[in-house]
Amino acid sequence: MDKKLLIIDGLNLIRRLYAALESEHDANRRIERTQSIAIEALAKLTHQFFPSYAVVVFDSNGKTWRHRVYPEYKLGRVPMDDTLLESLPDFAKVFRFNHLPCLRIDGWEADDLIATLAVKAANSNVKSYIVSTDKGFTQLLGDDRILQYDYFAKLGYDKIWVPGKYGVEPEQLTDYWALVGDTTNRIPGVKGIGPKTALSIISLFPTIEEIYANLPSFSERIQSMLAGGYEQCLLSRSLVALKTDVEIGVRLSQLRYIESKVE
């Protein structure tokens, strides 16, 4: 049987389950119910994918390298409910009690840890399933051994799905997002360039470097939009690109999943 690594974006899952219980006005009861439903969700996922390894990954508290490079990163996002924020360590305890390893490293977003785990697993011929609704992970799908699953929509995404959704291949997404921006995380694109224009640009030259090295090839309108935006595009691309070389210090064998332990 092929080996599989199930990687759950912990906060992505928890926040959506918590939001669905907004009609529960008792704060403690809402947390308890969210924990219970989260365990049920993890049980369903492990039964669905039969992983050899599994891990729930959490964000670090506080700012990360992206905030240092670009202080406006995620600025203006609705803050997490204080009650939920304070209860996150308890969620990790509950998951570990159910024999699901949890991972969090100070100074790192879950996205970079997840990307690193998936790529390292792929390099060891272990197929990874990333459970998250975050579109950022689609940039990893160029590798057949990395797949993404939306637990809420019950949809799986692979390298074939990406061009149908965005019009570019997975490995072109960071350059594409550098042009159109990422409003969710407050990462700017090039003013005036939307998805359609970005696709017309990338169809001619696939990287930011090649685009700016060949500006005369574009119409005057596109040249005027791109003018002076080279450094900003490089910055935006670096912000949307997931790190795949974080020193995690965890061996795959430490994430071994033992079936029947999650109840």
What pLDDT is stored for residue 252 in this prediction? 93
Q: How confident is residue 63, by pLDDT bands cut at 50, 70 and 90?
A: confident
Domain boundaries, the chain: 1-263
The tokens for 241 are 């690109």
Half-sphere exposure of 213 (CA within 13 A, CB side): 7
Say if residue 77's pLDDT is above 90: no
What pLDDT is stored for residue 256 in this prediction? 94
Q: Which parts of the chain fold into alpha helices (H)?
A: 10-19, 27-49, 65-69, 82-97, 110-123, 161-166, 173-180, 195-202, 208-213, 220-226, 230-240
Mean pLDDT score across all residues of the chain: 94
Q: Which residues pair with 53 in a beta bridge?
A: 5, 256
Say if residue 52's pLDDT is above 60: yes
CATH superfamily of 1-263: 5'-nuclease (3.40.50.1010)
What pLDDT is stored for residue 262 in this prediction? 46
Q: What's the CA gap between 170 and 177, in Å, rounded? A: 11
Q: If you average pLDDT over residues 9-14, what whole number do you get?
A: 97
Cβ burial 171-180 (10 Å sphere, 16+ → b, else e):
bbbbbbbbbb
Say if residue 43's pLDDT is above 70: yes
pTM above 0.85, yes or no: yes
